[in-house]
Amino acid sequence: MTKREILDNVRQLSRDEQVDLAVRIWEIVEPTNDELHLTEAQKAALDLRIEQFERNPQAVRPWDVVREEILRELREKR
């Protein structure tokens, strides 16, 4: 089966099934910490962001909201 055929089949799934499939694929390809090759500064920055989130989780905006804002800004710049 080709990638195109797989994608055509995925498009026929419900949104929930697509999300579940994406999560399962990510679990297969997810890099380990050793594969990420983060610098100490990057690790510290991530640790700080996690700490900030844990202190104030309601300050987080959902990805779909942020994505739409970015796309809207790009459309307005055209």
Whether pTM > 0.75 for this model: the answer is no
Q: Are residues 25 and 41 in the same domain?
A: no
Measured CA distances, 74 to 42, 65, 78 (Å) = 28, 14, 7
Q: What is the pLDDT of residues 14-62, one digit of tens each?
A: 999 999 999 999 889 887 767 778 889 999 999 999 999 999 999 989 9
CA distance 10 to 21: 9
Contact call for residues 69 and 77 (beta carbons, < 8 A): no
Residues 6+ apart with CB under 8 A from 21: 10, 13
The reply to whether 19 and 42 lie within a common domain is no
Task: Indicate whether 22 and 53 sit together in one domain.
Answer: no
Q: Do 44 and 62 belong together in one domain?
A: yes
Same domain? For 54 and 76 the reply is yes
Number of domains in the chain: 2
The average pLDDT across 58-74 equals: 91
Are residues 21 and 41 located together in one domain of the fold?
no
Phi, psi of 39 (to 5 degrees): -75, 165
- Domain holding 4, by residue range, is 1-30
